[in-house]
Amino acid sequence: MRLWRKFAIGSAAGIVLVGGALLALDAADKAFPPPLDKADMVSPEVLDADGQLLRAFATAEGRWRLKTGVADVDPQFLRMLVAYEDQRFYDHGGVDIWALGRASLQFVRNGRIVSGASTLSMQVARLIEPRAERSFAAKLLQLARAVQIERRLSKEEILDLYLTHAPYGGNLEGVRAASLAYFGKEPRRLTVAEAALLVALPQLPERRRPDRNLQAAQEARERVLERAAVAEAVGDGEADRAEAVAIPMRRMQLPALAAHVAEAALRKQPAVLKHQTTLKKPVQQGLEAVARAAAMKLGPKLSLAMVMADAQSGAIVGEVGSADYFDASRSGWIDMTRVDRSPGSTLKPFIYGLAFEQGLVSQETIIEDRPADFFGYRPRNFDMSYQGDVTVREALQLSLNVPAVKLLDAVGPSRLLVRFRRAEVRPALPPNETPGLAIGLGGVGISLKDLVQLYTALANRGQPARLGDGITGTPGKLDGEPLLEPVAVWNVADILSGVIPPAGAPQRGIAYKTGTSYGYRDAWSVGYDGRYVLGVWVGRPDNSAVPGLTGYGTAAPILFEAFAKSGIATTPLPRPPAGAVRIAQSELPISQRRFALNASGLLVASGREPAPQIVYPPEGAHIDLGAGAGDLSPLMLKLQGGRAPFRWLANGKPLPDLSRRRTQQWQPDGGGYSKLTVIDSAGRAASVGVFID
């Protein structure tokens, strides 16, 4: 009788206390609301374009507390959690009266606490308003808070708070942080063994940490799996199989990708908790793995940077600002994708593109690679040797300096920089200097990001894209005139895709160009296929010389390795546009067989002042302009020599306007044979016959 008297007294006292708390709750609820605002104090996250976690930052108090919702975790885990912690969770209003009575009876019988009566709602109350003491008053407040929380939040919202704030040892809070730290994965797909461990740890998180006390973690997981309600939730035999699975013995680092982008995102929007970027997590992981491996081979104090962008959308899909963000010897905190450096020979493709566009040369035009003096500027090749007569194709593939400067002299340095502005890129000139021929060999400053933005035009038929900053900037195609005409772009790609890959690198069907700045300070390599552009820079952040550093020997192998490890399948380069064809040297017009300038800077052929020559289209050419589809594209006409202005005739009919330019567009009326004629101001004429298909 004495036992039952104690039980009756204990139960009555408990019920009276609960009843009193409930009666007083309405009056106190408005005066003392639960501190739900503290529940929003979570770790800032930086996400990729698909919402995958790239990097998280600890909270102000140093906690890894990742916001987690019911939709973020495995449904099996939720069933196990409720079965083990609070079987009547969906039925009670914050306090489980039956569990409270059971706990009181067990206390009376055993003289100690055998099982708790704490509901998930009560645990949430304790997590968002922790108290050091375990007093009767603290428990009463927890009961009251649980009812307050139930009145304000749905069951799912209460679970969201528990999943975010449950302790898992050390500075880990919440199921996502624990799953990433112990299993290296998001909790959306958990095994029964993994779910059981995550259910068990929050009761005694420090004592049961698997990286500190493996035996205690093992025993706690077994208690979860042996609970009848849990076994029923997971299915027949699953609990037994889960007990045989090994428990992880170490804690892994949470994702820490894209350090520079993540830091920039936090600086730009410090109040935002989730920062969406344009990066792709698999691409970023691949590029960073290549960067780490390359840094070990490069040696001390050298850093590297990479930018990979979608040339069609302008989205930066991968970006590495340095070899190692935390390596002070490499100044790893400096984002070298945004620093202006000398680009070496990487701007040469655009010089050749302009020369192709203006009809100055074709791929098989002969150009001299011999010592030359441009009013005191005497460019020399990288290896100090000269090749003599070479084709334009060979000159670009070998990255010869003298031919590039000759072509830049013909097209004009200012015109080249004007074209760069179409891509919203403005290379930095030395102070108080006007554009000069040194631009072609790296005599300007340009960042890796801007260089990749220029190359998006080569991967996208001449139309550049705006890359944005990968965070808040809006990428996209740039409206307006193309940087280069499609035929010129195709000629450049046709040449660069024939450059031999570095030793040991696979042929990936990409076009690429390398560059080395003066004094061996910067090594560059930029490559592209039909969709993506990847740029690589290697050097010292302090701009010191690095003997032996070259674009082909140092940066190009990293480029090919990064393309392979990015996980992106190669997209074929664009098909030749209408009118694009590689013409054999023997079939070139006389004026295009050899490139030379006279003392006045005029193009000459065989030493004579030139008469007009139609260099495109060539005589007898069949040109596909879509006549069969009934929607004819315009044909670009190009001439060389002659004296402006020029009058063009198509089948004897003059085109509307005189032109001082050496390029003109003609819109055919239909397919078949046409004769094109140009007459210069001196009355000299040239004609070609072509077939429009």
Please report the pLDDT score of residue 581 as a whole number: 84
The strands making up 522-528's β-sheet, listed across from edge to edge, are 316-320, 303-310, 532-539, 522-528, 511-516
Cα 69 from Cα 161, distance rounded (Å): 8
64 by DSSP, 3-state: which?
strand
Looking at residue 555, the DSSP 8-state letter turns out to be I
Place of tokens 């069949």: 622
Percentage with pLDDT > 70 across the chain: 90
Cα 503 from Cα 488, distance rounded (Å): 29
Please report the pLDDT score of residue 103 as a whole number: 53
Lowest mean pLDDT among 46-55, 83-92, 410-419, 659-668: 659-668
How confident is residue 100, by pLDDT bands cut at 50, 70 and 90? low
**Angle, vertex CA 351, rays to CA 424 and CA 425, nearest 5:** 10
Contact of 619 with 630, CB cutoff 8 Å:
no
Instruction: Kindly state the helix (H) or strand (E) to which residue 449 belongs, with its residue range.
Output: helix 448-459
Count CB neighbours of 17 within 10 A. Answer: 15
Closest CA to 319 of 303, 306, 334: 306
Lowest mean pLDDT among 225-239, 349-363, 484-498: 225-239
| Residues with active-site annotation | 85, 345
How confident is residue 381, by pLDDT bands cut at 50, 70 and 90? confident
Lowest mean pLDDT among 109-113, 123-127, 301-305, 551-555: 109-113
Contact of 449 with 425, CB cutoff 8 Å:
no
Whole-number average pLDDT of the chain:
88
Please report the pLDDT score of residue 62 as a whole number: 92
Most confident of 403-407, 470-474, 480-484: 403-407
In one-letter notation, the amino acid at residue 585 is Q
Q: List the alpha helices (DSSP H) in 244-280.
A: 259-268
Cα 607 from Cα 488, distance rounded (Å): 27
Q: Buried b / exposed e across 307-320, counting CB within 10 Å, b at 16+?
A: bbbbbbbbbbbbbb
Q: Tens digits of per-residue pLDDT, 429-481?
A: 988 888 899 999 999 999 999 999 999 999 999 999 999 888 866 777 777 88
Cα 628 from Cα 671, distance rounded (Å): 8
Q: List the alpha helices (DSSP H) in 166-213.
A: 175-183, 192-200
Lowest mean pLDDT among 285-289, 321-325, 448-452, 689-693: 689-693
Across the range 575-584, mean pLDDT stands at 86
Please report the pLDDT score of residue 99 as a whole number: 59
Cα 142 from Cα 126, distance rounded (Å): 6
Closest CA to 84 of 226, 229, 182: 229
How confident is residue 631, by pLDDT bands cut at 50, 70 and 90? confident
How confident is residue 649, by pLDDT bands cut at 50, 70 and 90? confident
Burial class (CB in 10 A: 0-12, 13-18, 19+), 112: exposed
Q: Tens digits of per-residue pLDDT, 539-566?
A: 999 999 999 999 999 999 999 999 999 9
How confident is residue 606, by pLDDT bands cut at 50, 70 and 90? very low
Question: What is the β-pairing status of strands 522-528 and 511-516?
Answer: antiparallel
How confident is residue 19, by pLDDT bands cut at 50, 70 and 90? low
Count of CA atoms in the C-beta half-sphere (13 A) of 536: 29
Across the range 176-183, mean pLDDT stands at 97
Closest CA to 534 of 292, 337, 289: 337
Contact of 484 with 354, CB cutoff 8 Å:
yes
Tokens of 200: 């068990």
Closest CA to 39 of 100, 132, 129: 129
What backbone torsions phi and psi does residue 336 show, to the nearest 5 degrees? -75, 0
Closest CA to 603 of 365, 399, 434: 365
Q: List the alpha helices (DSSP H) in 325-423.
A: 348-357, 392-397, 401-411, 413-422
Q: How is 466-487 classified by DSSP, letter by letter?
A: E-TTSSSS--EEPPSS-SS-HH
Closest CA to 308 of 48, 46, 44, 482: 48
What backbone torsions phi and psi does residue 33 show, to the nearest 5 degrees? -70, 155
Lowest mean pLDDT among 92-106, 135-149, 276-290, 309-323: 92-106
| Contacts (Cβ under 8 Å, ≥6 apart) of 169 | 201, 205, 206, 208, 209, 211, 212
pTM for this predicted structure: 0.81
Closest CA to 128 of 37, 219, 30, 211: 37
How confident is residue 605, by pLDDT bands cut at 50, 70 and 90? very low
Please report the pLDDT score of residue 13 as a whole number: 52
